[in-house]
Structure 1
Amino acid sequence: MTTDSLHIVCPHCHTTNRVARDALGQSPDCGKCHRALFAGQPVALDEAGFEKHVARSQVPVLVDFWAPWCGPCRMMAPQFEAAARELEPHMRLAKVNTEEAQALGARLQIRSIPTLALFVNGREVARQPGAMGAVDIVRWARSNLPRT
Structure 2
Amino acid sequence: MSQQNTRTIRCTKCGIKNKIPLDKAGSFAKCGKCSFPLDTSDLLNKKPVIVTDGNFGVKVLKSPIPVLLDCWAPWCGPCKMIGPVMEELAAEYYGKIRVCKLNVDENPATSSRFKISSIPSMLIFDKGVLKDTIVGAVPKQQIAGKISSFIL
| Both proteins in one fold, TM over 0.5 | yes
Determine if contact 1:87/1:138 at 8 Å carries over to the other structure: no
TM-score normalised over the length of structure 2: 0.74
The match for 1:57 is: 63
Distance 1:76 1:88 in 2: 18
Relative to structure 1, the CA distance from residue 114 to residue 30 in structure 2 (aligned partners, 3 Å threshold; closer, same or farther) is farther
Relative to structure 1, the CA distance from residue 41 to residue 111 in structure 2 (aligned partners, 3 Å threshold; closer, same or farther) is same
Determine if contact 1:27/1:36 at 8 Å carries over to the other structure: no
When structure 1 is superposed on structure 2, of 74-83 and 54-63 the one drifting more is 54-63
Which amino acid letter does the alignment assign opposite residue 115 of structure 2? Answer: Q
Give the secondary structure class of the aligned counterpart of 2:96.
coil
Distance 2:103 2:121 in 1: 11
Relative to structure 1, the CA distance from residue 25 to residue 65 in structure 2 (aligned partners, 3 Å threshold; closer, same or farther) is same
Give the secondary structure class of the aligned counterpart of 1:21.
strand
Distance 1:35 1:126 in 2: 25
Matches within 5 A, 1:1-148: 6-7=10-11, 21-23=18-20, 25-26=22-23, 28-31=25-28, 37-143=43-149, 145=150
Moved over 6 A (4+): none
- TM-aligned CA deviation for residue 58 of structure 1: 1.9
Distance 2:84 2:139 in 1: 9
**Matched-pair identity in %:** 30
Higher helix share: 1
Determine if contact 2:72/2:120 at 8 Å carries over to the other structure: yes
TM-score normalised over the length of structure 1: 0.76
Unpaired stretches in structure 1, ≥5 consecutive residues: 9-19
Relative to structure 1, the CA distance from residue 99 to residue 43 in structure 2 (aligned partners, 3 Å threshold; closer, same or farther) is same
- TM-aligned CA deviation for residue 48 of structure 1: 1.7
Per-residue Cα deviation, 1:28-81 (whole angstroms, up to 9, x for no partner):
1155xx976432111111112112122221211110000000000011100111
Per-residue Cα deviation, 1:102-127 (whole angstroms, up to 9, x for no partner):
12111110110000000111110000
Determine if contact 1:60/1:91 at 8 Å carries over to the other structure: yes
How many residues are matched? 130
| Root mean square deviation, CA, Å | 2.6
